[in-house]
Amino acid sequence: MDTPVPTLTDRLREALPPDALRTDPETLDRYSHDAAEWADFARPAAVVLATGVDDVVATVRLAAELGVPVVPRGAGSGLSGGANAMQGAVVLSLERMNRVLHVDRAERFAVVEAGVINDDLRRHVAHHGLWYPPDPASQSICTIGGNVATNAGGIACVKYGVTRDYVLGMTVVLADGSVARLGRSTAKGVTGYDLTALMVGSEGTLGVVVDVTVKLLPLEGREERAVVGTFRSLTDAGRAVAAVSAAGIVPAALELIDRTCLHAVGEWQGWDLPEDASALLMAKVDTPGPAGEALQERIAVLFEQEGGVGVERAAAPEEVDRLFLARRLAYPALERLGPVLTEDVCVPRGAVPAMLGRIERIAADADVVIANIAHAGDGNLHPLIIAPEGDAAAAVRAKTAFDRIVDACRELGGTVTGEHGVGLLKLPGARAELSEVVLGMHEAVKRALDPRGILNPGKAFPGFGAE
C-alpha cells in the first residue's frame, strides 16, 4: 500500500505550534485580501499566525522547498492589494508578533516586532520622553511591519519625513528561510550597501520583516499651533498650498479635505459645518515660542490672500485637536457611503492646484463622486472614488476615473503612489512610470534575493513573479 504524500498543510502542521496554522474557510476568506477595493484576490491554501521568528523561518523554508507563494501580512489595512492572496498561497500574518523589544532613551531608538501597532509604539515610547513621527491615517490599526512594507507617511511627514527616514535596521527572513540582520543602531553608518533602505517599500517581495529598529525623536520642545481656512473652490485651496510652499514654510502638517468629505463627516457626527465650503485646509506648526506664533500668522495671512475665509487660529492642545479631527474622521466617514476606491498620487507641490482641477474634471466626465483628502504639504493626494454597492456600471466608471487620475498625475511630473504602495492596483501605472532599464534593475534584485519568485509574487513592480 502506498504511503500518502503529505500535503502542504500537513507539512505546515508538523513544523508549527498547534495554534499557528488556520485552514478553516472563514479564516481563509478573512485573510485573502486587504482593504483595497476591486483588487484581485483568491482564497489561500493556509494562514499562518506567526508568534516568533522561528514560525516565519519554518513557513518560508517549507514554501521554498515546495515552490508555494508566501504573502506576508500585517493588519490588512493596506489600500493597494499588496496583501492579497493568490490560489494555493500561504498567507503569513505577523500580527501576533506585537512586542516592543527594547527602547534606548539615550541613543533614541527602539526595537519592535513587525506586528506592533503604530499608535501603540507612539504611546509606549512617550513614556520614555520620545516620539515616533510617522503617523498614517490608519495609525490606530496599521502595523510597523506594514508601514515598512509600503514606506508609509502620514500627516506629519511634510516636515518629519516618512517611514524610511526612521528605519535604522531590521531583521528579515529571506526567501530561502535564512535570517539577515540589516542596518545598525548607531546614529551614522555606511558599511556596505544600504539594504535596509532597499527593504523599505519593497512590499514583502524581497523578504519578510520580523523586527525593526526605529529612530526616535525627543517628545519635548514642540508647541503645536493650528490654522484652518475654508475655501470656496478646490483650486483656491490648492493655490494656498502652493503659496505656503513658495514662501519657504515647512509646516508640521498641511492637510486638505473637500466638500464631500466635510458633508460625510458632518452627517456622521452631527456637526454643523460650513455649507458653502468646497475645501478645508488645515495647517499645523510646532516651532516653540514667538517664532511659532509668527509662523502661524504667516500661514493664516497666506490662506486669506488666496481666498480663505473664516480662518481660525488655535494654540491650546484641545483646540488644535478639534480643528484636525475632521481630517482624521474623513476616510471612515466616506466608507459609510459605499465602496471607496482610494487613489494615492503625488505631484510637485506647485502642481497641486492643477491636479485638483483635473480631478474635478475627471469626476464630471466619468459621472462619479470623487472626494479629496490630501497631504497637501507634500503634494500627496488621495482622491477617493465612491461607487454605490452593487452598481456594476458605476464600478466601471470608477476604474476609468482611477486610471485617468494616474495618467494626469504623471503628466504633471508626479508619481503613481506616494505611500500606499504599488500592490496590484498600481501595476499599470508603475509600468508606465518606470523605464525598461529600471524595471530590469528591479527584476535583477528580485531574482537575486528570491530566485523562485515565492515572496508576494506579482506585487510592487510589473515583471518577474507576476505570472
Task: Say which amino acid occupies 111.
Answer: V
Instruction: Give how far Cα 62 sits from Cα of 70, 107, 196, 324, 431, Å.
Output: 10, 38, 25, 48, 32
**pLDDT value of position 421:** 96
Give dist(CA 367, CA 365) in Å, integer.
6
- Asked whether the beta carbons of 456 and 205 are under 8 A apart, the reply is yes
What is the rounded CA–CA span in Å between residue 409 and residue 415?
Answer: 7
Percent of the chain surpassing pLDDT 90: 81
Given a cut of 90, is residue 272 above it in pLDDT? no
Query: Which numeric CATH code is attached to 225-411?
Result: 3.40.462.10
Q: Which residues contact 287 (CB under 8 A, 6 or more apart)?
A: 223, 295
Q: What number is the average pLDDT over the span 379-393?
A: 90
Residue 7, pLDDT score: 84
Q: What percent of the residues of the chain are helix, what percent strand, and what percent coil, each to the nearest 5?
A: 40, 20, 40
Per-residue confidence (pLDDT) for residue 464, from 0 to 100: 66
Over 80: is that where the pLDDT of 350 sits?
yes
pLDDT band at 184; cut points 50, 70, 90:
very high
User: Are 87 and 38 in contact, with CB atoms under 8 Å apart?
Assistant: no
pLDDT in tens, 333-342: 888 887 889 9
User: Cell 495618467 identifies what position?
Assistant: 407
pLDDT category of residue 1 using cuts at 50, 70 and 90: very low
Q: Output the pLDDT for position 407.
A: 96
CATH topology of domain 100-218: 3.30.465
State which CATH number among 3.30.43.10, 3.40.50.300, 3.30.429.10, 3.90.226.10 fits the domain covering 8-93. 3.30.43.10
Secondary structure letter of residue 196 according to DSSP = H
Q: If we measure between CA atoms, which residue out of 323, 401, 301, 324 comes closest to residue 361?
A: 401
- The pLDDT value recorded for residue 4 is 57
DSSP state of 165: G
Going by their DSSP bridges, the two strands 70-73 and 90-93 should be labelled as: parallel
Quick one: pLDDT at residue 323?
Answer: 81
pLDDT of 391 reads: 86
Distance, in Å, from the CA atom of 389 to the CA atom of 168, rounded to the nearest integer, reads 43
Q: How far apart are CA 298 and CA 287, in angstroms?
A: 13
Helices and strands, counts by H and E, the chain:
15, 19
- Within 13 Å, how many C-alpha atoms sit on residue 383's CB side? 30
What average pLDDT does the segment 68-87 reach?
A: 97
Q: Which of 93-102, 191-200, 308-317, 322-331 has the lowest mean pLDDT?
A: 322-331
The CA distance from 85 to 28, in Å, is 9
Query: Which H or E element spans position 320?
Result: helix 317-335
Hey, do 100-218 and 225-411 end up sharing a CATH topology, with the first three levels equal? no
pLDDT tens digits along 403-426: 999 999 999 999 999 999 999 999
Reported as a pLDDT band with limits 50, 70 and 90, residue 275 is low
Q: What average pLDDT does the chain have?
A: 93
Query: What is residue 465's predicted lDDT score, i.e. its pLDDT?
Result: 56
Contact indicator for 447, 464 with CB cutoff of 8 Å: yes
Residue 68: pLDDT above 80?
yes
Asked whether the predicted pLDDT for residue 29 surpasses 90, the reply is yes
pLDDT at 3: 53
Domain ranges of the chain: 8-93, 100-218, 225-411
What does the pLDDT read at residue 20?
A: 97
Q: Is 277 left (phi over 0), alpha (psi -120 to 50) or beta?
A: beta
Q: Which amino acid is at 308?
A: G
Q: How many CB atoms lie within 10 A of CB 364?
A: 11
Q: Is the model more confident about 341 or about 177?
A: 177
Contact 153, 137 (CB under 8 A): no
Q: What is the structure's pLDDT at 37?
A: 80
DSSP strand E in 148-252: where? Answer: 167-173, 179-183, 208-215, 217-218, 225-231
Three cell numbers, residue 440: 530590469
pLDDT in tens, 226-261: 999 999 998 899 999 999 999 999 999 999 999 999
> What is the band of 2 on the pLDDT scale with cuts at 50, 70, 90?
low
Predicted confidence band at 438 (pLDDT cuts at 50, 70, 90)? very high
